[in-house]
């Protein structure tokens, strides 16, 4: 149960960053859907390392191969197996880690929980796992293509886009390295990341995601609220520390008389502080939320740490350096959003006589 996500549409994954391959099984995809393989590979390419000078320079082609469940270009209703081979498994880069717990990494917790640790680059904890999610999410996007899902980098460090998302042109997101649709902010963000990179340091940021053209009725009201599933999904991404939707933490400072979204005659609302969700169910307005990423833990600086014997020692990141993971997490956020929405969309077919 621990490596699966979703109810009707469920993805189950496996794979370590330095094993033979990663991959998964997508279960519950309805039969008869024409699969756009190019679109799936395109999403993977958005996520892969080495895309620009501000992200990790590690090279991995990340080519997905589908093994089942698709016949003559269409889904058959059978489970869809897929695999992404690891072509860049320089385990040697990590030999210095064998016995050392990297600060704010999962080395220590894995070792204590399982009594064994795959020390090669994080093993199962590696963000490489998110490539699996992108594959599944790209397929889910095709299932709900009437919904437009757009994520983008909304802040890096203390540089924020100071505009509501309604003023942004999402077609510009892919136009710069940092995946920020506001060009002025994008420039500052890139500059900031470059400084950080040169210092061998890392920096955090936030991603905002907007789902437009939403159907009414997605989400189940008690423990599978639409925003609760979105939150769980986002909190599954490596380095995420927070999730808010609609008015979010700002809403906690407000009064009901200013926070309530007044209805128009057609059922839309004048404001949308609810973030398109009431009682856990989509109301047809835009669903939007924000995800906080901490700076990644691997820095190119010397840090004090301990080894498995409890001796103090020092560690310094080696190999490729990823100063800001936020831009590469943008397609991951979209993928998980698509998975959540597609799952609820399927489920919703069973909720009314």
42-50, 144-152, 175-183, 218-226 -> range binding its own copies (CB under 8 A): 218-226
Query: Annotation-wise, does 188 bind a ligand?
Result: no
Q: For the segment 42-71, give every residue that binds its own copies (CB under 8 A).
A: 65, 67-69, 71
224 binds its own copies (CB under 8 A): yes
Binding residues for its own copies restricted to 161-190, rule: CB under 8 A: none
Point out which residues pair with 4 in neighbouring strands. Answer: 12
Of 25-33, 39-47, 56-64, 161-169, which part binds its own copies (CB under 8 A)? 25-33
325 is annotated as contributing to ligand binding = no
Query: Could you say whether residue 145 binds its own copies (CB under 8 A)?
Result: no
Q: Which of 1, 146, 164, 166 binds its own copies (CB under 8 A)?
A: 1
Indicate the Cα dihedral angle 189, 190, 196, 200, nearest 10°: 150
65 or 169, CB closer to its own copies?
65
| Secondary structure (DSSP) of 133-169 | HHHHHHHHHHHTTTSEEEEEEEEETTEE--S-GGG--
Residues 76-101 as b/e (b if ≥16 CB within 10 A, e otherwise) read eeeebbbbbbbebbeeebbeebebbb
CA distance 271 to 262: 7
Question: Which residues ranging from 238 to 277 are in contact with its own copies (CB under 8 A)?
Answer: 241-249, 251-257, 259-267, 269, 273-275, 277
Pairing of strands 10-15, 64-66: unpaired
Give the closest residue to 202 by CA, choosing from 53, 303, 322, 305: 322
112 is in an annotated binding site: no
Least gap, CB of 171 to its own copies (angstroms): 25
Q: Give CA–CA dist 52/47, Å, rounded.
A: 11
Residue list 104-143, contact with its own copies (CB under 8 A): 104-106, 108-110, 112-118, 123-125, 129
Q: Is 140 known to sit in a ligand binding site?
A: no
With H, G, I as helix, E, B as strand and everything else as coil, classify residue 26. strand
Q: Does 32 bind its own copies (CB under 8 A)?
A: yes
Choose which of 3, 52, 99, 194 interacts with its own copies (CB under 8 A). Answer: 3
Minimum gap (Å) between residue 253 Cβ and its own copies: 5
Judged by beta carbon, residue 50 or residue 242, the one nearer its own copies is: 242
Buried b / exposed e over 267-306, threshold 16 CB at 10 Å, is eebeebebbbbbebbbbbbbbbbbbbbbbbbbbbeeeebe
Is the Cβ of residue 242 or residue 319 nearer to its own copies in the bound state?
242
Q: Is 295 annotated as a binding residue?
A: yes
Q: How many Å is the Cα radius of gyration of the chain?
A: 21
**How many residues interact with its own copies (rule CB under 8 A)?**
146
Residue tagged 């942004």 (tokens): 168
Considering only residues 293 to 352 of the shown chain, the ones binding its own copies according to CB under 8 A are 293-299, 301, 303-306, 310-312, 346-352
- Closest CB 42 distance from its own copies, rounded Å: 22
How far apart are the C-alpha atoms of 34 and 54, rounded to whole Å?
Answer: 36
Binding site per annotation, positions for NADP(+): 47, 53
- Residues annotated in a binding site for FMN: 124-126, 238-239, 279, 294-298, 320
């Amino acid at each position: 149960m621990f490596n699966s996500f979703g109810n009707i549409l469920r993805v189950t994954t496996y794979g370590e960053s330095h094993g033979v391959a990663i991959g998964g099984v997508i279960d519950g995809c309805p039969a008869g859907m024409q699969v756009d393989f190019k679109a799936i590979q395109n999403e993977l390419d958005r996520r892969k390392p080495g895309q620009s000078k501000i992200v990790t320079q590690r090279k991995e082609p990340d080519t997905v191969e589908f093994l089942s469940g698709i016949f003559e270009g269409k889904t058959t209703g059978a489970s869809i197996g897929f695999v992404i081979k690891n072509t860049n498994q320089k385990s040697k880069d990590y030999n210095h880690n064998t016995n050392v717990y990297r600060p704010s990494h999962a080395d220590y917790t894995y070792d204590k929980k399982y009594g064994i640790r795959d020390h090669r680059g994080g093993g199962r904890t590696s963000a490489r796992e998110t490539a699996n999610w992108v594959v599944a999410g790209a397929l889910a996007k095709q299932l709900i293509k009437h919904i437009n899902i757009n994520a983008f980098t909304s802040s890096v460090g203390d540089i924020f886009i100071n505009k509501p998302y309604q003023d942004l042109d999402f077609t510009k997101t892919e136009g710069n390295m940092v995946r920020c649709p506001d060009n002025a902010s994008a420039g500052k963000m890139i500059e900031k990341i470059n400084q950080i990179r040169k210092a061998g340091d890392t920096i955090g940021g936030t991603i905002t995601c907007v789902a437009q053209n939403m159907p009414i009725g997605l989400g189940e009201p008690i423990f599978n609220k639409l925003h609760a599933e979105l939150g769980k999904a986002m909190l599954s991404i490596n380095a995420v520390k927070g999730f808010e939707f609609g008015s979010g933490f700002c809403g906690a400072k407000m009064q009901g008389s200013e926070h309530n979204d007044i209805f128009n005659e057609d059922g839309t609302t004048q404001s949308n502080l609810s973030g398109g969700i009431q009682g856990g169910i989509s109301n047809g307005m835009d669903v939007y939320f924000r995800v906080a990423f901490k700076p990644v833990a691997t820095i190119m600086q010397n840090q004090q740490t301990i080894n498995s014997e409890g001796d103090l020692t020092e560690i310094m990141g080696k190999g490729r350096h990823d100063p800001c993971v936020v831009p590469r997490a943008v397609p991951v956020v979209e993928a998980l959003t698509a998975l959540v929405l597609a799952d609820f969309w399927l489920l919703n077919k069973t909720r009314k006589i």
